[in-house]
Amino acid sequence: MIGGGPGGLYAAALLKRLDPARDVTVWERGAPDDTFGFGVVLSDETLGGIQHADPVVYRALQDEFVRWDDIDIVHRGRTLTSGGHGFAALGRLRLLEILHERCRSLGVRLRVREEAPPAAELSAAYDLVVAADGVHSPTRQAHADVFGPRLTTHRCRYIWLAADFAFDAFRFEIAETAHGVMQLHGYPYAKNASTVIVEMREEVWRAAGLDRCDEAASAEHCAKVFTEALGDRPLRGNNSSWTAFRTVVNDRWSHGRTVLLGDAAHTAHFSIGSGTKLAVEDALALAACVEEQPDLPAALAAYEAERRPVVASTQRAAAASLRWFEELSTYLDQPPRQFAFNLLTRSRRVTHDNLRLRDPGFTGAVEEDFGCPPGTPPMFTPLRLRGLTLRNRVVVSPMDMYSAVDGVPGDFHLVHLGARALGGAGLVMTEMVCVSPEGRITPGCAGLYTTEQATAWRRVTDFVHRESPGTAVGVQLGHSGRKGSTRLMWEGIDQPLDDGNWPVAAASALPYRPGINQVPRELDMDGLARVREEFTSAARRAAESGFDLLELHCAHGYLLSGFLSPLTNRRTDAYGGSLAGRLRFPLEVFDAVRGVWPQDRPMTVRISATDWARGGTTAQDAVEIARAFAARGADAIDVSTGQVVPDESPEYGRSYQTPYADRIRNALGLPVIAVGAISSWDDVNSLLLAGRADLCALARPHLYDPHWTLHAAAEQGYSGPGAPWPLPYRAGSRTPPTGRTDAPKPRLSLG
């Protein structure tokens, strides 16, 4: 073991306990009582794993833990408390002492104050080399060509300090200083001691002069800022210094006989308290895989296969939490309880439903502030946009069906959209409806450029309004731009047609994929005027077709999106260059459409808030794009991401696009539609209550279950006006009974 932190020591103890004949050695260059930070928080899940794998260590930890249930959030002088969370913490130094004692009792050799030989040298003498040598891992650096590390340094500075008293809860406190926002994360780890982490944006840290402060001066400054939280008590350090958090990701975790563990392999931001937890769980999994597998290569492969998905999920949650704190200043004007709920659910792991289980009183108060009638989940509260009142907050997201003939929607569209309307959603959106034959993506795309198409759409809207009263139906108008003239999705997405291709046009003469897709024609002034008129004519037909809402598609690399992104707009005239120039044509189209769209009917705009590519649209650009459309009369912004360039690198995960909607909403106070891997009604309720979205658009869940919204109501025991069942379906409004499921067995049991 290279490194004597909790992960390395626990792995050593487990491997020795599994086979006492093993020769296990730990190298630790520091002294036994050297450590950074102060307290360690462990979850019940991690403790359960320790209990089954090593009852001796578990009992020793049990004797040391400080336990508490509450989280206190101080927002502009008001303290809001949420209970029922269940924390256990102890001093990091005491944790190391327990693990040292356990290793010695088992016969593990501890070589402290001694630098480990390089992993390459150790692997010649040992069967297994575990590199638990931390975030700055020399082992990882020495073999970077194999491990493929990717390190990201973030925008806040933080320092680990301690106070010689115990907080009675996990405490988050925000200080709005002359230099900017600072935040305190504090929790007890002993009967008379607490960890205190102070964090702030880099520019705030510099403005406050903390970049010029040593440990003592930093502790004194922080104690003055948070004097009320500390009760005028001082703070102390432990070789403490200001640092910027670094996220570590590796392409591989093993190299020959060497394997990475803990922070050497991965890091997760301290705001979700997962560093020691992940290292200890790594140790449990590694020991189990070595025991279970026939040889070392199989063991290391199994270890990585088991742990990587868990770590990736934790890192996504940690990244969401980290970014929330980076953008903390944008949330400070939220009502106090909504702010507290937002903070508690920031990682998307804690949700409305499990907060309601932990503390129904707190959650009920948040719901009341939101405007939920008694017994009504947040998703079933109405929302008004201009003259349209949506009975709930669920949107069937636009989904291309590629099933039209000559742009005319047929029976498929009637059944597809009609079924989702009967399924209870407040707003059902069409796929992108194209404004011209040349503006289609594929030959199967629907349009609104002929009277025949408008008549066919009227058949759909009439059905929705007649058979599902109270459901709104919206049309999304768009033009494919350079991504047009391609095959149906299931025949080869973004692949050109074998024959029958039509010419495509775009902001600039840049093909979507050079050598594969055709080079588009750069629109000249006549072309721009023609496209504007095509959108206007389609909007008139949409109004005549009975649509309740119109959305202008300015996302996903289609024509209007192509003007907005600097990666696809290389124009040198008034329609290119700066963001204001790139916005010019989409805003002209918006104005033209708004001018013919009925004034009492709302109009929204879908944007790609990031291109997920270097040099593309940034999150701040997205705020300014949204601001510009809002100033022209957009009633809401539908916030999607990506699909602008083929070489994008999205950060996929649950609700992965919602932070962009969140940022726009809280920066501008503008209603937003969140979209992107929102899959559960619990996610919808959580996003709404936290003030991150006003509507939630779901696509794939509605393909899986056309009655997703009605089933969500049934599962929550709701039967009010926000989700009425169609009379013919009312007999199916109760949730069918299900069989029991058993909890997973412990990962490693050595009792």
Distance, in Å, from the CA atom of 576 to the CA atom of 569, rounded to the nearest integer, reads 6
The parts of the chain modelled with pLDDT lower than 50 are: none
Q: What is the pTM of this model?
A: 0.90
Q: Quote the tokens at residue 236.
A: 């102390």
Cα–Cα distance list, 636 to 383, 603, 661, 670, 734 (Å): 12, 7, 11, 6, 34
| Helix, strand or coil, per DSSP, at residue 737 | coil
Q: Which CATH class is domain 381-720?
A: alpha beta
> Helix H segments across 359-410?
360-370
Cα–Cα distance list, 179 to 182, 200, 207, 215, 222 (Å): 9, 10, 6, 20, 13
- Phi/psi for 677 (5° steps) reads 60, 35
Question: Token pair 């502030």 is at which residue?
Answer: 369
> Helix H segments across 192-274?
202-207, 215-225, 227-230
Domains of the chain, residue spans: 6-328, 381-720
Q: Please check whether residue 550 is in contact with residue 477, taking contact to mean a CB–CB distance below 8 angstroms.
A: yes
Q: In what order do the strands lie in the sheet with 180-190?
A: 78-82, 71-75, 170-177, 180-190, 193-201, 149-163, 243-250
| Helix, strand or coil, per DSSP, at residue 452 | helix
| Helix, strand or coil, per DSSP, at residue 311 | helix
Judge if 6-328 and 381-720 fold alike in CATH terms: no
Q: What is the pLDDT of residue 41?
A: 84
Q: What is the pLDDT of residue 558?
A: 97
| Helix, strand or coil, per DSSP, at residue 443 | coil
Range 6-328 has CATH code 3.30.565.10 = no
Buried b vs exposed e over 469-498: b needs ≥16 C-beta within 10 Å?
Answer: ebbbbbbbbbbbbbbbbbbbeeeeebebee
Task: Provide the 8-state DSSP code for 180.
Answer: E
Q: How far apart are the first and last CA of the chain?
A: 25
Q: What is the pLDDT of residue 747?
A: 65
| Helix, strand or coil, per DSSP, at residue 475 | strand
- Phi/psi for 435 (5° steps) reads -95, -5
Exposed / middle / buried, residue 740 (Cβ in 10 Å: 0-12, 13-18, 19+): exposed
Q: What is the CA radius of gyration of the chain?
A: 29
Strand 672-675, strand 695-698: pairing: parallel
Q: Which residues are catalytic?
A: 558
Q: What is the pLDDT of residue 731?
A: 84
